[in-house]
Chains A and B, each alone.
Chain A
């Protein structure tokens, strides 16, 4: 990020003045991060304190009780396992299938190539909601309702991943290298596994991280497929710990703590792979 800064002189200071710029930026930083801090403080409160009629800033005596309820006395660990399995499964299938397809576009010329590519990219225009009813009927027919496969497979048609990997492979895998491997007598499969995949690894990693985070956060489709609490992923499960007054009000402490904990896997992944992640999300926005 930003190796090629242009105007080293602090231009914006001259235009609007440093305090204004810095103040605004700090305020926005506060806006982005303060909700997490507040949420963390909330997890340390007793259920009654969380819901105290006029609200409160700090717990009387902070405790980790909510965490121990969440992990040892609720269904949350199961949801976490479901989320991990569904997200990992989705990531593996999507990246593998997309890598194979992307390689076909990056290396070969074939009839209808441009049209097929346009059609695949066009899929991003179709709201998932348009497919939802037929997919639901299909899933019932295949007996995939309320299963991991049912959550994982339908959304794996992923144009963004293919788009990114085509661009990545075109620049990271030299055609000459593939040609000379062919002349040396390597089989196609060997070339793909031994030459293409290793060279494309950073691009694949970028897509793996991006897709994992996306799947971890997915809500709409799992909400339709998953029917029993033991199969829920975290985003599907959390809203069932209702906060509506008059229903199961006393589960707010679980909902709040569970929502806070749900951030950890993605935040950690984001922190250790910042570079890949940024690469992944800027795919499609910047050519190449």
Chain B
């Protein structure tokens, strides 16, 4: 692209320009991402409680995690949600997107309805459901009683089911919209040639829709894994706006690792241990989502 002298000048300047544009972001990135991340790794290998800091390298925090039943209990909570709620939500959204995409009258209105809960905050979603499910005054038990069924302890013994319901309620409409967008991006020609070849609907869905939808599905699975790993607000609200009641049997049922490391850092002020916990959470999230992320469209420039 040589355009004489002025063209050359422009090209030389343009070597500096990308970094000028990147500068504000890079400042924020260093101060509020890169530095805290390294710092977090560092203090996880030290003894660091409030007012008491010993920088000697130690593996104490990580050793303690191995035998920490509260943490592993939280981990099994995540596994259960990942094994039950995640597949239900993904399959539900796949089915609904397919049905609305392949021409049900008013499908779009349905999708908007499904989507509504996703604009509510997690706190509001959990507050609404906690009121509905409240064993004393909640409408659901009232409804059950009025049709002659026994009321259930939704926020006690069944609190895991209630939690998964809140997550599903808040998110599945979002998945439907994304899968729908993914389906809309599949070239129509492919369907037409499949039609000419005489392949049936289900075969077409399996042979064309599903493979081409793979990046989209991988993306939503990735996002759900990340949000399950970070689970905090919904169980926090369902326990009545507190993480601290963690010792009761009911709250242990939904006491997530992030709730635990929040308590360790901001109730017991054991920063070193909290940082170590957070790195284990990160590694678990990383291992479980990396393969999925690589198959999605994300991360490619």
Chain A residues near B (Cβ < 8 Å): 1-12, 15, 21-22, 25, 28-29, 31-33, 35-36, 38-39, 42, 50-57, 96-98, 100-101, 103-105, 107-108, 110, 113-114, 116-118, 120-138, 153-157, 162-163, 166, 182-183, 188, 192, 213, 216-220, 224, 234-235, 238-240, 242-245, 252, 255-256, 259, 262-263, 266-267, 269-270, 274, 278, 281-282, 284-288
Interface size on B, residues (CB 8 A): 116
Shortest CB–CB separation between residue B51 and chain A, in angstroms?
Answer: 13
In the assembled complex, 28 residue pairs joining A and B whose CB atoms fall closer than 8 Å, in A order, are: A6-B102, A6-B191, A29-B113, A100-B22, A116-B22, A121-B298, A124-B298, A127-B230, A127-B258, A129-B230, A130-B40, A132-B265, A135-B36, A153-B28, A162-B25, A217-B122, A217-B124, A235-B123, A238-B127, A239-B240, A259-B123, A266-B121, A267-B119, A281-B174, A282-B178, A285-B182, A287-B185, A287-B297
Establish whether residues B21 and A101, one from each chain, have CB atoms under 8 Å apart when the complex forms: yes
- A residues near B7, Cβ cutoff 8 Å: 183
Min CB gap B116→A, angstroms? 6
Q: Answer yes or no: B111 CB below 8 A from chain A CBs.
A: yes
- The yes or no answer to B70 lying at the interface (CB within 8 A) is no
B116 touches A267 (CB 8 A): yes
Q: CB < 8 Å: which of A118, A122, A135, A242 contacts B241?
A: A242
Q: How far is the CA of A134 from the CA of B271 in the complex (A)?
A: 9
Please, which residues of chain A bring their CB within 8 A of the CB of B100? 2
Tell me if B268 counts as interface (CB < 8 A to partner A). Answer: no
CA distance A243 to B43 in the complex (A): 37
Task: Classify the secondary structure of B's interface with A.
Answer: helix
Are A25 and B22 interface neighbours, CB within 8 A?
no
Question: Known contacts A125-B285, A133-B278, A235-B124; is A104 also within 8 Å of B216 by CB?
Answer: no
- A259 and B127 form a contact (CB under 8 A): yes
**Which of B26, B32, B110 has a CB less than 8 Å from the CB of A29?**
B110
Asked if B96 is at the interface (CB within 8 A of a chain A CB), the reply is yes
Q: Which of A21, A134, A138 counts the most chain B CB atoms within 10 A?
A: A134
Inter-chain contact A15/B103, CB cutoff 8 Å: no
Q: How far is the CA of A272 from the CA of B219 in the complex (A)?
A: 27
Decide: B25 and A101 in contact? CB cutoff 8 A. Answer: yes
In the complex, identify which listed stretch (B83-91, B135-143, B156-164) lies at the interface while the others stay far away.
B135-143
Contact between chains at A220 and B182 (CB < 8 Å) = no
In whole Å, how far is A167's beta carbon from the nearest beta carbon of chain B?
Answer: 9
Pick the contact of B132: A35, A54, A163, A242 (CB < 8 A): A35
A248 to B184, CA, bound (A): 51
Q: Compute how far the CA of A15 lies from the CA of B29 in the bound complex, rounded to whole angstroms.
A: 52
A120 vs B300: C-alpha distance when bound (angstroms)? 11
Q: How far is the CA of A157 from the CA of B25 in the complex (A)?
A: 7
B282 in the interface (beta carbon within 8 A): yes
Neighbour of A31 across the interface among B107, B169, B266, CB < 8 A: B169
A104 x B22 contact (CB < 8 A): yes
Q: Is A8 touching B301 in the complex (CB atoms < 8 A)?
A: no
- Which B7-57 residues have C-beta < 8 A from chain A? 7, 10, 13-15, 17-26, 28-29, 31-33, 35-37, 39-40, 43
A156: chain B residues at CB < 8 Å are 28, 32
Measured in the bound complex, the distance between the Cα atoms of B299 and A96 in whole Å is: 21
Name the B residues within 8 Å of A218 (CB-CB). Answer: 121
Contact A123 B24 (CB under 8 A): no
For the complex, is B232 an interface residue (Cβ under 8 Å from A)? Answer: yes
Do A38 and B132 have beta carbons less than 8 Å apart?
A: yes
Shortest 10 CB-CB contacts between residues of A and residues of B: A239-B241, A55-B142, A217-B121, A134-B36, A101-B25, A104-B21, A134-B39, A108-B18, A235-B123, A104-B18
CB distance from B26 to the nearest CB of A (A): 8
Docked pose: A2 CA to B50 CA in angstroms = 56
B124 touches A56 (CB 8 A): no
Contact B108 A2 (CB under 8 A): yes
Known contacts A35-B132, A120-B29, A124-B226, then 7 further A-B pairs from the complex at CB < 8 Å, ordered by chain A residue? A39-B128, A108-B14, A129-B281, A134-B36, A155-B32, A219-B122, A224-B266
Verify B19–A110 contact, CB threshold 8 A.
Answer: yes
Docked Cα-Cα span, A155 to B32, in Å, equals 8
A110 touching B15, Cβ below 8 Å: yes
Q: How far is the CA of A267 from the CA of B275 in the complex (A)?
A: 37
B230 lies within 8 A of A128 (CB):
yes
**Contact at B236–A130, with CB atoms within 8 Å?**
no
For A107, what are the chain B residues with a Cβ–Cβ distance below 8 Å?
18
B75 neighbours in A (Cβ, 8 Å): none
Q: Does B254 interact with chain A (Cβ within 8 Å)? A: no
CA distance in complex: A4, B174 (Å): 21
Of A2, A33, A54, the residue contacting B113 (CB under 8 A) is A33
A127 B278 Cβ-Cβ under 8 A: yes
| Cβ contacts under 8 Å, B298 to chain A | 121, 124, 163, 284-285
Contact A285 B178 (CB under 8 A): yes
A97 x B18 contact (CB < 8 A): no
Residues of A within 8 A of B265 (CB): 132-133, 136
Instruction: Report B-chain residues with C-beta under 8 Å of the C-beta of A220.
Output: 230, 232-233, 258, 262
Question: Chain B's nearest CB lies how many Å from the CB of A231?
Answer: 16
A94 to B274, CA, bound (A): 28
Residue B180 CB within 8 A of the other chain? yes
